[in-house]
């Protein structure tokens, strides 16, 4: 037991393989992870995991996201298959966003990471304080 995760080496090999062949963009892990590792994606996924929300509701729920980035992030999540967008022909029309099965499936591991974050944010904040105290 040295803390190393089994099977990791093989995954890194996939990554390294792309290295020489200029196929880095094809690395499956990077391709998928980078779609969700940006400032707003995981936050919106977390919100939609609770229940479906409408555009304006999400905007009020996450007040420091700009309307532009909310539109764009939801669009990207929809394109990657995590989010479903349904338009209701009310007046004015309303749009509801919800997680797809793929989105709910992905939220499993993401939620694990969030639980870790909640449990360990004290340690992280302390690490920052220690680091900032040094010159």
Partner DNA sequence: TAGGTAAGTCTCAAAAAGAGACCAGCGCTA
Partner DNA sequence: TAGCGCTGGTCTCTTTTTGAGACTTACCTA
Give the shortest CB-88-to-its own copies separation in angstroms: 19
CA separation for the pair 123, 128 (Å, rounded): 9
Phi, psi of 133 (to 5 degrees): -75, -25
Give the shortest CB-87-to-its own copies separation in angstroms: 14
Q: Is 85 helix (H, G, I), strand (E, B) or coil?
A: strand
Give the shortest CB-106-to-its own copies separation in angstroms: 6
Say if residues 109 and 97 touch (Cβ distance below 8 Å): no
CA separation for the pair 42, 70 (Å, rounded): 12
List the x/- string, 18-57, binding to its own copies by CB under 8 A.
-x----x---xxxxxxxxxxxx-xxx--xx-xxx------
Q: Is the dihedral of CA 29, 31, 37, 43 positive or negative?
A: negative
> Is position 51 an interface residue for DNA (rule: CB under 7 A)?
no
Which residues would be at the binding site for its own copies (CB under 8 A)? Answer: 3-5, 8-9, 11-12, 15-16, 19, 24, 28-39, 41-43, 46-47, 49-51, 60-61, 63-64, 78-81, 102, 104-118, 120-121, 123-128, 130-132
């Amino acid at each position: 037991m040295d803390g190393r995760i089994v099977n990791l080496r093989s995954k890194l090999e996939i990554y390294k393989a792309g290295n020489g062949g200029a196929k880095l963009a094809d690395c499956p892990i990077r391709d998928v992870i980078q779609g969700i590792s940006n400032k707003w994606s995981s936050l919106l996924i977390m919100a939609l995991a609770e229940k479906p929300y409408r555009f304006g509701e999400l905007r009020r729920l996450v007040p420091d996201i700009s309307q532009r980035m909310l539109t764009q992030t939801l669009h990207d999540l929809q394109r990657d298959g995590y989010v479903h967008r349904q338009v209701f022909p009310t007046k004015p029309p309303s749009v509801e966003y919800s997680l797809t099965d793929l989105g709910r499936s992905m939220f499993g591991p993401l939620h694990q990471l969030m639980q870790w974050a909640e449990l360990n944010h004290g340690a992280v904040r302390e690490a920052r304080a220690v680091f900032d105290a040094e010159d």
